[in-house]
Amino acid sequence: MSPHNSQAKEGLARAEIGMTAYRTFELANENLEKRNYTIAISQYREILKQFPNYRGAQNNLNTAWAKRNEENPNKIPSILFGTWEHVTPARQEILIQGYYRKESRSEYYTIPGESGRRTRDVWYDVWVPPVYSNSPEIRLTIQISANMINVYNGTTRLNEITSQNFYYAGNTIEFLNGQVLQIQLTNNQIIYIGLVFIKK
């Protein structure tokens, strides 16, 4: 590519994402060249949070991710293999407490010795029952093997993540989309999207 074309491309990228983000992009590219893949991935993600459609950052993130997995093939240990489960029991919550409210109605009455009927308002209490919210049971499972991680809601598969799209780093499994599965083997649990999963 000629210097002129390179400068034009750089200028276009700066205009697209701004100087600060472009500087982060340059730093990420330097880290990619130096094989500091984890840092580069973090920097590309920082840019993509602000500019999710910036292809340069997405393409280079994918490159850094693939190179890290290729050069550092950290395999998930077999102790993590199997099914992990999170259950939130079904529950019923009161949204609005029951209460009494005052209502009135008109009724007729007569006065002895006088002709005709008269009306008056009579007040009385009416019970308004509570309003409930019913939440069904939530049963999420994560199945981990050497080459695949599957996430289920009941029997519906939500995610199928192949080994090219996750990275084991000791106490975490990081996914290409940026989500992290935290491993706490001392408590025999893993944490994903803020929920605790126990091995079955």
The pLDDT value recorded for residue 191 is 93
Say yes or no: 143 and 189 in one domain: yes
Task: Compute the distance between CA of residue 199 and CA of residue 189 in angstroms, rounded to an integer.
Answer: 7
Say yes or no: 21 and 104 in one domain: no
The pLDDT value recorded for residue 1 is 46
Say yes or no: 86 and 148 in one domain: yes
Say yes or no: 82 and 150 in one domain: yes
Report residue 116 as tokens: 């005709």
The pLDDT value recorded for residue 2 is 44
Domain count, the chain: 3
Say yes or no: 49 and 100 in one domain: no
CA 35 to chain centre: 30
pLDDT in tens, 8-33: 455 556 666 778 888 999 999 999 99
pLDDT 10s digit of each residue in the chain, 200 long?
444 445 545 555 666 677 888 899 999 999 999 999 999 999 999 999 998 888 989 999 999 999 998 887 778 889 999 999 999 999 999 999 998 888 888 888 888 888 888 888 888 898 999 999 999 999 999 999 988 999 999 989 998 999 889 999 888 999 998 889 999 887 889 999 889 999 98
- What's the whole-model pTM score? 0.68
Task: Compute the distance between CA of residue 27 and CA of residue 42 in angstroms, rounded to an integer.
Answer: 11
54 DSSP assignment? -
Half-sphere exposure of 107 (CA within 13 A, CB side): 8
Say yes or no: 9 and 36 in one domain: yes
| Dihedral sign computed on CA atoms, order 158, 162, 165, 171 | positive
Say yes or no: 85 and 161 in one domain: yes
C-alpha closest to that of 109 among 119, 97, 96? 119
Say yes or no: 66 and 17 in one domain: yes
Domain that includes residue 8, residue range: 3-71
Say yes or no: 82 and 164 in one domain: yes
